[in-house]
Amino acid sequence: MIGGYCDERGSNEYNLALGQNRADATKNALVTAGVAANRIRVISYGKEKPFCTESTEECWQQNRRGGFTIEK
């Protein structure tokens, strides 16, 4: 599973859409590299699950990511 994450700035709606775009782009890169699309699920967390909680540019950069979780 690929989760799309964003920093704390922006509305919830905006960040959920941005997180979805980020997760979809990550999925597309994996599919292009040869991973079967039916093996990948995507979800957007927006700004709800930050990696870093400080309000700095460095922290915001860490929160803008696609994260991987292996499901069985």
- CATH code of the domain covering residue 60: 3.30.1330.60
- Our count of domains for the chain comes to 1
Confidence (pLDDT) at 72? 83
**pLDDT mean across residues, the chain:** 96
Instruction: Give the domain extent around 56.
Output: 2-68
The mean pLDDT of 36-41, rounded to a whole number, is 97
What single letter denotes the amino acid at residue 9?
A: R
Single out the residue of 52, 51, 50, 26 nearest to residue 40, CA to CA.
26
How far apart are the C-alpha atoms of 47 and 45, rounded to whole Å? 6
Confidence (pLDDT) at 1? 97
